[in-house]
Structure 1
């Protein structure tokens, strides 16, 4: 715990609402010299506090969370539906895995050593702009009401109503941390997409394996589709994948995690007033075409922190316009069935240099590089979708979606 978890001090320069990837990342950046005072509001222990989660990303060198990295891989593998694997080395990039509790411990330790920073365990009820900044009304674990005042508030809570969109898909998954009786995994290779699983009538499905040791791994079943599955359906799919595809034999499931990540071309407003800003998935940090969020959160947090130290508050865009435009085309092509998803992703990994492809998926490529990647995609379905998109209206969802810890999960 940082300097104080007491609710007595109610004023600071910055209040960060939410202790997920976005809130922790921004708080970590604001422990650097010259940063404003801050209060990080996290949900208290109980049903509102999310279970431990896994966050993954690729990066070069040692990043700010290197001390919290659980495992990393310099080789990545994709299996096509035909069973043929493609193994790539995206050097100098490495794929890294973090556990949320390790990141939380690291950030809390940094906050504890930073004057003017603290963690407050409370439920944030309302956030609103005021004449001289903003305020957050909270309920403490003992039931008291507390009002926090700040010059700026950065809110990472999921939006109650999704913004209108032309295309809405979900990346939904369930994963098992498994232990095998023998050595079944190669700890140097991470399986990003294994399409050797039965494909659903709509969308696509794949397995995902992050080996931790020769006999321990995170094994996941993931779908891109319009609706999540029941927990029992995920369990059946995972059992099939472990037994019939990976051939693991008897496994011990040590723990499980489950989540839903929105994949949409909705336009996410990053500001909710002069002094209130949305960050993380609530501010559009989730990459629409892949569901990856963590890397974009780091870019946004770095820019916000630098702006605050320079006396400017702004929720910087996590993705560029070109990347979002390409994602809108891909999502629509997948949703209409014009594009064979497993074939599309497998073809990219087989035909595009791995380091360039990962930068492309992260929105870090030049127009010339993006043109080269585009030439390796099915041109006909993509062009048809490009022509169609401008005439499609953005619509609100017709029914509520089931969501578990949206946005901060995994990717």
Structure 2
């Protein structure tokens, strides 16, 4: 049986980011194994996030903007982001950067193959790859799939398809991305477009849906074509790249430390914000906390969980999911009021869970009162019935 000090199960965004932070800590001397299904050599996804100042991946940020355009039900216009920048990171740039950085780790092994088994044993966490068991005192697992049918929880999917297109005409403003453009048929769901321009003739156009059912591929493509024809003066255009993704939006309780030697990370560890699907920045923050904990204690790391503020923010996520899942109020109008009645910086702080309790109350006060009150009562009723 092979042995390592640390095993990272899964080499996606969370697994690679963890290896990156380990490489910049005193833990870099440990023997580390990173296991992934296959080598990542395609531009298969895009991460967008907001940030103050420069972050750890500034060298590979593909585009960044200080203002965004929003199109809602009763409010549309440009939003100045203040101290924040909206940043775009391409998957292929992230993978190349990570693999170049991790090559500098003298004690890192990367193995490609399917993890067929993951278990906590007395002597450590064990993964089985290619029929071979491998053990380490700590296994960081990003392969665990969140349950999507747990009673008394809310479970939506954020699913999206995007095209990088090159157009016949100048039709994009490189300084103005469109974020959450709701000028499309909602079909009683939450449906919107992103338009992230690279230059005047090239952009990522992405169709995003919050609901419970993934569509056939043709449905996304039809909606993308309709949007481009209706809202972009593109002329003819060529599809350069395609991306597709599914992100769970769930308030199911997730244990980051399900057993003695296993730590779940990324979406598997509940790092995705349930009400929005945003994952990238929370993952970076939480992983840095794990590495700091491991440096200090020299044991399997446990992230310190905040008290009441964290609980209150989780409750707000459940309320919003209840509104969306039960269609208590049109989703496009919910997000319109969020941006119309709050400064963009407050919205971003709220999504990053950096807001104060007073700011949380200001966010709550900006929402439609009746539908959200119904959601609160429904949540209280559900909890009371199952005490």
1:9-408 equivalence runs, <5 A: 10-35=2-27, 36-45=30-39, 52-81=44-73, 85-139=76-130, 145-159=131-145, 161-162=147-148, 164=150, 165-200=152-187, 202-310=188-296, 311-316=298-303, 320-392=310-382
Task: Work out whether residues 168 and 236 of structure 2, in 8 Å CA contact, stay in contact via their aligned partners in 1.
Answer: yes
User: Secondary structure of the residue that 2:271 maps to in structure 1?
Assistant: coil
* Range with bigger deviation, 208-217 or 263-272: 263-272
1:372 to partner: Cα distance: 1.2
Q: What's the CA shift string for 1:116-168, capped at 9, x where partnerless?
A: 223222221111112221121101xxxxx332221100010141743615222
Kindly indicate whether the alpha-carbon contact (under 8 Å) linking 1:163 and 1:266 is maintained by their aligned counterparts in 2: no
**TM-score between both structures, scaled by the size of structure 2:** 0.92
Deviates more, 1:339-348 or 1:291-300: 339-348
CA contact (8 A) 2:125 2:137 kept: yes
**Displacement of 1:321:** 2.2
1:33 Cα deviation from its structure 2 partner: 3.2
* Cα distance in structure 2, aligned partners of 1:254 and 1:315: 43
Higher mean displacement: 307-316 or 347-356:
307-316
1:54–1:353 CA distance, 2 compared to 1 (3 A): same
Deviation at 1:217, TM superposition (A): 0.6
* Shift of residue 331, structure 1, vs aligned partner: 0.9
Is the Cα–Cα contact under 8 Å of residues 166 and 392 in structure 1 kept in the other structure? no
Q: Give the superposition deviation at 1:50.
A: 8.2
Q: Which runs of 5+ in 1 are unaligned?
A: 1-8, 140-144, 395-411
State the Cα distance separating 1:115 from its structure 2 match.
Answer: 2.6
Give the Cα separation in 1 of the matches to 2:63 and 2:110.
27
Q: Is the 8 A contact 1:163 1:267 kept in 2?
A: no
TM-score (normalizing by structure 1): 0.87
SS at the partner of 1:120?
Answer: strand
Q: Is the Cα–Cα contact under 8 Å of residues 133 and 150 in structure 1 kept in the other structure?
A: yes
Q: Secondary structure at the match of 1:355?
A: helix
1:53-89 deviation per Cα after TM superposition (whole angstroms, max 9, x unaligned) = 111111112111112211111111210136x522112
Partner Cα separation in structure 2 for residue 10 and residue 214 of structure 1: 53
Mapped to 1, the partners of 2:58 and 2:8 lie a distance apart of 23
The alpha carbon displacement at 1:45 in A equals 4.8
CA distance in 2, matches of 1:100, 1:315: 29
Larger helix proportion of the pair: 2
What is the count of residue pairs matched by the alignment? 377
